[in-house]
Chains A and B, each alone.
Chain A
Amino acid sequence: MIDTPTVDWLALSPSVALLGASGVALLAAVIVPDWMRKSVAAGVVLIGFVLAAVLAGVVFDETPTPEVLLDGSMVRDRIAALTQVILAVTGAVVVLASWAERRRDNHGEYYALLAAAGAGMVFFVSADNLMTLFLGLEWFSLCLYILVALDTERATSLEAGLKYLIVGGFGSAVLLFGSAFVYGATGELGFAEIAAANPTDDVFLLAGLAMILAGLAFKVSAAPFHMWTPDVYQGAPTSVTAFMSAATKAAAMVVMLRVLVTAFPDQSEIWTIAVAVLVCISLAWGNLAALAQRDVKRLLAYSSISHAGFMLMAIAADSERGAEALLYYLVPYSAMSVGAFAVVAVRERELQRPVTLESLAGLGWERPFYGIAMWTFMLGMAGFPLTGGLFGKLFVFSAAYDSGDWWLVLIGVAATAVSLGYYLNVVRWMYMRAGGELRLAPAGGSPPTDPALGVAIGAAVLVTVGSFFAAQPILDAAADAAASLPF
């Protein structure tokens, strides 16, 4: 008789809720009659995401100190729970935003995959050894590969899916290879055990660390591991892009923080430099390349690369303050990112073609709500006041300055200055083109009304602005969460 470890179902419940929703949605794709398939699938998955968020909140509330679960494969702690809340809320907003998306007949599959990907991410962030980490990574990545290629009638979607599959597969392989090196060097898989084994300056351990870092950098799309990002973000269905840009990045960032801090504390002098290098390259590359983009989804993709740079700056600080800054940053960033892609989706549905800067002309005047929302997201991403984007940058800069990386602050400031070039350009196209250009391109008939999308964008605006005024409660939660990491 093999001893079975006791299972902490509460800790697993967010993941289980999403898996359950995914299963029901998948069944709905077969059983439920055609006309109500979409409503059932979307409804169930929405409930799943909301339930997951609530359950993760309960876990957060009831886990003052970290607990290792399932024989050291998972950990129940506040940093995981807080990230799960962010992921699940993001997922719920994406479900609302994708309600009116036109697709042929794969609604059930779409929502099922979305929930499954969410479940994978929720699992991923609570991983406590290299095996569960890889499992979680592959779990949500496989779902995303299919989601990206889901619009089979669009060649770009298929192309994006293939690219993501190949590059993502490569990234996963690098991560797995690195894990093997680390296991070889230490004989351990658990993060804390790796740190305890501590074979200092072992070449294989360092090689493994570098490869794990690179593998995760693929997922957070930090330059120079970002090559897939613009193409995939552009080609994927816009709601999937929204989900990836916010949720994948959030999950991978938190996991990167956890792995580096818990498994490699003795190598921190090395990896802080490596992360700082990633910061510089991401900020430079992301911002400069974004300046040249005409396609809004590509522009936002490069912008997300530069945001990866800002978030990595918080990791490079290697301090509790940095962890707080990162967790805070994720809240407004997720909202702005999902919201911005949702506004792009509005325009895309009207025009039935890819959204360029030109096709945003006049949007601000003819769709005041979406215009102001997009304005808010762009200003927020640029770090203007009255949005959480400012505090995100401020906290990250403070953490970096506190750790003595004042030069990173200066680079971040310079990058922000460059980023204004394209963020304000979007605002300029929406509001300031001359005469005829200000007329919206004809979309054929009146625009489709889409209350679900309006609610999604409204929620994103609320979080973006709310995280500015109510920064303290979020920061408190982030501080509680950061306390569960061993700094």
Chain B
Amino acid sequence: MLTTALILLPLIGALVVAVLPLPRTTTAGLAFLVALMEVGLWIVAASRFDFDEGGLQLGTSREWVESLGISYSVGFYGFSLWLTGAAAIVSAAAIGYAMWVGRDRPRAYHALMLFLTGAIVATFAAQDLLLFYVSFEAMLIPLYILVGVWGGARRQAATLTFVVYTMAGSLLMLASVVAFGVTQGTFSLLESGTSDNVWIFLGFAVAFAIKAPLFPFHGWLPLAYREAPVEVAAVLSAVVSKTAIYGFLRIGLPKFPEPADDLSGVILVLAAAGLVYGSLLAFRAPDLRGVVAFSSMAQMGLITLGIFAFDDLGLDGAVLQSVAHGLISASMFLLVGMVEHRCGTGELTSLGGMARGRPVLATVVIVAGMIALAVPGSATFAGEFLIMAGVYDQGWGYSVVVALGIVLAAMYTLRVISALLHVKPGSAVRDEALDLRPGELALVLPLLLVLLVLSAWPALISQSSFAGSGAAQSIVEAFR
């Protein structure tokens, strides 16, 4: 019931927000309240969740289309509960930011944001292949409108490439879903067995690779992350991309152990290439959003390395890194939005010197930047270290690439920090541009606080994602 409530609360909230003809601020406030309630509900769910026990918890299952074996079947594993938590927190921060900025047509905007939240949570909770597909696709509907209506100047091109890429992947996945479901006789992930069909696996893998995005399927990323409203970009990079990770963990590996193993070499190489390439692009990007966007792509490559390491360390690290990256990339995007709001541009050449007279902004940016570049002691460092150690068995070269990735992350993050805060005041930075307001601080600070807690105690996630006999065991066996 609790899982269903987690899915339905934002959806009902979306309906209420869309239908009630409330004034602007009340509408936004109501949406924010729903998003906060979602976080509260997640905390209740987490408190009732027994992390020491493996298997599906908080599960509900109802027949939907019996003749094809489709059911409404939801529930959480340790790792999906953590991913859901990150989704709830990031969505709340994003909706809060939208309220702070005061988006046009608030009823439509906030209804779509809440709908998106519901779809993301449903994706993480889905234990039926068709329900997963439905939620995975349902995310696209609000995203399409959110980017297309409220985006920047080139939003039409951005939505077009985004939709073409993601739908190409989704439809391949639909073909795979049909093939898998029909051969198995059921669409339930809990009841179906494994398959050794490489083509079916590829359909899923490509869909996830596009959603993440992994190199070389990242063609949609630069435009979408640049043109989307900044809080939508935050949700996109922080949590929507993690649905791909969930897909790999819940469907890719457990249902296709042999194809995944056969193709792991290719995927590892692509992930490593993506990590390096994304980092280099981030280093070369001329604007704030470009840096965050490409660094996000690099991080997705890193997380994929962890998954396809096929061992406990790698998988634990991948989940920890997914949550940590979700929080940090959301805070970075929101900070980018705040800077853009003040200066009217994110071009690094016209920014600079913002530390002077804006101590709060400088402090927050530095803290976020330190976590983003995985300074030792941070949650991201813990995640990256686990992945680096985990992937060693697949080949020491991958560990070297991860280490290289950490160095590159330091390079591009420090470049942004200095270009933004230090050097001479840029042309777009006027003296009237204020320091962070308390309202803005209240949105970013909770994200950073959670990250600091995780930095102090990364085992909170890494040791509770896969209960029982270690991650690698449970991913293949406990999920069947």
Contacts and interface: CB of A to CB of B under 8 A. Distances in A.
Interface stretch (A20-28, A65-73, A260-268, A416-424): A416-424
B156 interface: yes
A416 B171 contact: yes
A385 B137 contact: yes
A386 B138 contact: yes
Given A394-B130, A397-B178, A385 B68 contact: no
B167 A398 contact: no
B392 interface: no
B403 interface: no
Contacts, number: 85
Nearest to B173: A413
A384 B141 contact: yes
Interface in B79-110: 105
The majority secondary structure among interface residues of chain B is: helix
A402 interface: yes
B167 A420 contact: yes
A439 B328 CA distance: 40
Interface in B119-143: 130, 133-135, 137-138, 140-141
B179 A401 contact: yes
A394 B148 contact: no
A425 B408 CA distance: 41
A395 interface: yes
Interface in A355-408: 365, 379, 383-386, 390-391, 393-395, 397-398, 401-402, 406
Interface stretch (B58-66, B276-284, B454-462): B58-66
B179 A431 contact: no
Nearest to A402: B182
Interface stretch (A37-45, A124-132, A185-193, A471-479): A471-479
A409 interface: yes
A202 B141 CA distance: 53
B16 to A, nearest CB: 15
Nearest to B130: A394
B174 interface: yes
A210 B159 CA distance: 45
Contact of B156 (A420, A428, A475): A428
Contacts of B144: 424, 427
B155 A432 contact: yes
A432 B141 contact: no
A417 B145 contact: no
B64 A471 contact: yes
B163 interface: yes
Nearest to A383: B174
Contacts of B182: 398, 401-402
Interface in A76-106: none
A24 to B, nearest CB: 41
Contacts of A413: 171-172, 174-175
A475 B69 CA distance: 12
The majority secondary structure among interface residues of chain A is: helix
A295 to B, nearest CB: 21
Contacts of A324: 67
B179 A406 contact: yes
A222 B145 CA distance: 33
A30 interface: no
B1 interface: no
B181 interface: yes
Contact of A386 (B66, B67, B134, B172): B134
A266 to B, nearest CB: 27
Contacts of A431: 145, 148-149
B434 interface: no
B178 A398 contact: yes
Interface string B41-69: 00000000000000000000001111110
Nearest to A425: B160
A410 B175 contact: yes
Nearest to B151: A432
A472 B64 contact: yes
B181 A398 contact: yes
B67 A365 contact: no
B67 A472 contact: yes
Contact of A384 (B137, B148, B172, B178): B137
Interface centre among B63, B155, B175, B179 (most CB of A within 10 A): B175
Nearest to A399: B182
B168 interface: yes
A414 B168 CA distance: 8
Contacts of B167: 417, 420
Contacts of A414: 171
B178 A409 contact: yes
A250 to B, nearest CB: 21
A428 B151 CA distance: 13
Contacts of B140: 384
Nearest to B177: A394
A324 B141 CA distance: 28
B67 A479 contact: yes
A475 B65 contact: yes
A401 B197 CA distance: 15
Interface string A448-487: 0000000000000000000000011001100100000000
Nearest to A406: B179
15 contacts: A324-B67, A365-B105, A384-B138, A385-B134, A385-B137, A386-B138, A391-B65, A398-B68, A401-B179, A417-B164, A420-B164, A427-B144, A427-B145, A432-B148, A479-B67
Given A398-B68, A427-B144, A475-B67, 7 more contacts: A390-B134, A395-B68, A398-B181, A409-B175, A413-B171, A416-B174, A475-B65
Q: Which 3 A-B pairs have the closest CB atoms?
A: A385-B134, A432-B148, A397-B178
